[in-house]
Amino acid sequence: MAFSKLSRKLELPQTHRNGTGPSMSPNLTELPTTILETFIPGYSLISGFILDVFGFDVSILVSAAVIIFATVHVGTYIWQRVYSWFRQYLMSNIYIDDGDDLFDSILSWIGEQQMAKKSRSIKAVTRYSQISNEDEADENAALDEHGIFHYGKYAARQPPRYEPYFGVHRFWHKGSLYIFDRSRREVQSNPWTGRGSDEELIKLSCIGRSTNPLRLLLSDIKARSLQKQESLTNIRRPAPKDMSRRSGAWDRVSSRPSRPMETVSLDKEQKARIVADINEYLHPASPRWYASRGIPWRRGYLFHGPPGTGKSSLSFALAGLFGLDIYVISLLEPTLTEGDLNRLFSNLPRRCIVLLEDIDTAGLLRDEKSDKDEDTSRTASDDDAQLTAKDLAKALKTASRKGGKTDDAKQGISLSGLLNAIDGVASHEGRVLVMTTNHPEKLDEALIRPGRVDLQVQFSLATHEQMRDIFVRMYSIEFDGTDASMRSLREHHDQGQRMQLKDHRTSSNSDIDDGLTDEPGATTAHTGEKTSSDRLVNGVLKVRPSNVASPLSAIAKINGVIKPNIAVSKSPTSPITPFLARTETEQLSPAQLRVMGDAFAAKLPEDTFSPAEVQGFLLIRKKEPRRALEEVDDWRTGMMKAKEKKSKVVAVQ
Ligand SMILES: Nc1ncnc2c1ncn2[C@@H]1O[C@H](COP(=O)(O)OP(=O)(O)OP(=O)(O)O)[C@@H](O)[C@H]1O
């Protein structure tokens, strides 16, 4: 044995078996007593005692254990040194932090790989408030004996989502080995709030001194993620400042199925005009065209009209059509400073839609300084931007409400601050700015002068054609539950969950209604005849569809042809049973729906109700077109009375 030979050559002293003195060891499996003593104090006494009492020599066992222990430790140390050297000099890394969209895409992609499926250490994520796997749960299993839908039960059936846990995971992709390392680090706490927060980081590594394989992998992941998102519109809002991230960052707060343009009921020609205008602006050749003529490459739109006429809906539909993300800023956000606003505008991507909603209610005041500022300096204002006396008083009031923090005194957006953000030198080129308002007459003319607002689009109360369209779309079963965009949303639920789990200070302002949530489905494209009432006056686009004839007589043809299909609740004895009967949408052909839609529209006066009001009426009867047709007269009378009295509460719904 090699150890024995070595031992003899070295003439190591014999283990002290009986505690009387050193002697030569017959082989190396027995380490000298002095060495064992350093590992196990009092070893000679213990081993002597065991030998005397049990007649058993433990030196061989103890020596073997010590040798194994030492070998493992030395081996581990050498391996770590070699591996760290290898990683440092022979591997390439790419880091992705959790503020980047790629972070979610990678997690989602990795979660689908064999490595994550086989891994014995994965993270399970579940939130009942998320839509996530709703479709995988059996709808009927969540109904109780009275037919009441119990969301708790329903959500409990949804499987959790799994993703790789913190630590190192290895996987193969297209023949190459990659290392995925997910870690978390605590970031410095905010000096004002005293709160710290965690940030996550992904490190992707590959063997070799070039990052090319990693870049290719990330391109693959990004392409796949974009493909999934094709029919989704990302909505972003300013990232919370107290997350120790610099102000001016944007967070993706949700991804929603893109709203098809057909579902926004406006005159086709006018819609086409807006679409063509944005399309021309977004064209890759446009930046050069603008630059060569010295015109800033920016485009602004003002959507104005009464509430609920489709201003936000059109903005979202345009974002979906052009595959743009939508960046929503609320100027009413109390902690938003002019410096933040500038940084937010300068952090926009090359092409996107910025939505400034209800610009008139933002309480912007035209300060004396803004007149001078507007024409002279276009320098990027920062936190020290000048405030008017009124603004300052307002800001101080806010500050005193919040405990008098000095920083708050600088908050609040003045008109000059907003103008600087919109078209100051720091402002980004390439964005589409959409401002919406119910009161265009209240706006300062500086805000809507050409260059800042290039096209004004007026939205009016519902016309007959709009009401007919809304009716047809409401009862069209063509897209019930099979909308491709909904499918895509489900596929993408993982990312949605992650985004919504993020603590978002601005979520309190997420009152934005993109008209997607209550949308029953996409409508069939209708033949949009040219309307006589559309006009473009002084750059103001008047959106007003033409009237439609009302073939009331045609209803007789379809009356009684199709019977509604009622699904009866399981317990006929329950007192609430009659109210719980689930109605299936009547199966009406597109032609029948159109005729009914025309009849419905003919019962309502034009320019009186907003599309949102009409939609609200239909939603209460969302599967009963015949009932809607029967009850619309009463509703109209009730609504007209309420409008006459300027009452906000209506008797008939
Ligand atoms: N022209 C329209 N076509 C289709 N749906 C519409 C239209 N106008 C309004 N709606 C519906 O009414 C609801 C509210 O619409 P939206 O938020 O776009 O109105 P708005 O003009 O932006 O209102 P506000 O001025 O109050 O913000 C949405 O659910 C939307 O689907």
The predicted pLDDT at position 520 comes to: 36
Instruction: Compare 106 and 145 and report the one with higher pLDDT.
Output: 106
* Rounded Cα distance, 301 and 309, in Å: 16
Mutational test site, ligand 1, from 615, 619, 648, max ligand atoms within 8 Å of CB: 615
Residues 573-595: pLDDT tens digits?
A: 555 555 555 566 667 788 888 99
How far apart are the CA of 511 and the centre of ligand 1, in A? 13
How far apart are the CA of 612 and the centre of ligand 1, in A? 5
Give the 3-state DSSP-derived string for 187-202, with helices as H, strands as E and coil as C: ECCCCCCCCCEEEEEE
How far apart are the CA of 443 and the centre of ligand 1, in A? 21
Give the 3-state DSSP-derived string for 109-156, with helices as H, strands as E and coil as C: HHHHCHHHHHCCCEEEECCCCCCCCHHHCCCHHHECCCCCECHHHHHH
The predicted pLDDT at position 391 comes to: 47
Mutational test site, ligand 1, from 435, 513, 619, max ligand atoms within 8 Å of CB: 513
The predicted pLDDT at position 479 comes to: 53
- Looking at residue 173, its amino acid is H
Q: Which atom of ligand 1 is nearest to the CA of 266?
A: 1
Residues 319-347: pLDDT tens digits?
A: 999 989 999 988 887 778 888 888 888 88
Q: What is the mean pLDDT of residues 538-562?
A: 40
Instruction: Compare 37 and 245 and report the one with higher pLDDT.
Output: 37
Phi-psi category of residue 529: left, alpha or beta, with phi > 0 → left and psi -120 to 50 → alpha: beta
Percent of the chain with pLDDT over 70: 63
Instruction: Compare 22 and 195 and report the one with higher pLDDT.
Output: 195
Residues 197-209: pLDDT tens digits?
A: 678 889 999 988 8
567: three-class secondary structure by DSSP: strand
The predicted pLDDT at position 140 comes to: 63
Q: Which atom of ligand 1 is nearest to the CA of 513?
A: 17
Q: Which atom of ligand 1 is nearest to the CA of 263?
A: 4
The predicted pLDDT at position 512 comes to: 40
Q: What ranges make up the beta strands (E) of 511-621?
A: 535-537, 540-543, 566-567, 582-583
Q: What is the mean pLDDT of residues 524-541?
A: 39
* Rounded Cα distance, 358 and 439, in Å: 9
432: three-class secondary structure by DSSP: strand
Q: 336-367 burial, b if ≥16 CB within 10 A, otherwise e? A: bbbbbbbbbbebbeebbbbbbbbbbebebbbb
Q: What ranges make up the beta strands (E) of 209-312?
A: 232-238, 250-257, 299-304
- Reported confidence tier of residue 426, pLDDT bands at 50, 70, 90: low
Q: Which atom of ligand 1 is nearest to the CA of 315?
A: 18
- Looking at residue 270, its amino acid is Q
Phi first, then psi, for residue 236 (nearest 5°) are: -125, 150
Q: Evaluate if residue 454 carries a pLDDT over 70.
A: yes
- Smallest CA separation from ligand 1 atom 16, residue: 310
- Smallest CA separation from ligand 1 atom 29, residue: 515
Selection from 153-162, 378-387, 482-491 with the highest mean pLDDT: 153-162
- Smallest CA separation from ligand 1 atom 13, residue: 612
* Rounded Cα distance, 96 and 99, in Å: 8
Mean pLDDT of the chain: 72
What DSSP state is assigned to residue 219?
H
Please report where in the chains the tokens 């989602």 appear, as a residue. Answer: 108
The predicted pLDDT at position 88 comes to: 82
Q: Which atom of ligand 1 is nearest to the CA of 518?
A: 29
Q: Which atom of ligand 1 is nearest to the CA of 438?
A: 25
Q: Which atom of ligand 1 is nearest to the CA of 462?
A: 1
pTM score: 0.64
The predicted pLDDT at position 327 comes to: 93
**Closest C-alpha among 273, 281, 230 to residue 255:** 230
The predicted pLDDT at position 575 comes to: 59
* Rounded Cα distance, 476 and 468, in Å: 12
- Reported confidence tier of residue 537, pLDDT bands at 50, 70, 90: very low
Tokens of 304: 């104005």
List ligand 1's pocket residues with C-beta within 6 A.
264-266, 307-313, 436, 438, 459, 466, 470, 513, 515, 518-519, 611-612, 615
How far apart are the CA of 540 and the centre of ligand 1, in A? 20
Residues 481-523: pLDDT tens digits?
A: 444 444 444 444 444 444 444 443 333 343 344 433 333 333 3
- Smallest CA separation from ligand 1 atom 19, residue: 308
How far apart are the CA of 270 and the centre of ligand 1, in A? 17
ipTM of the complex: 0.98
The predicted pLDDT at position 52 comes to: 85
The predicted pLDDT at position 388 comes to: 42
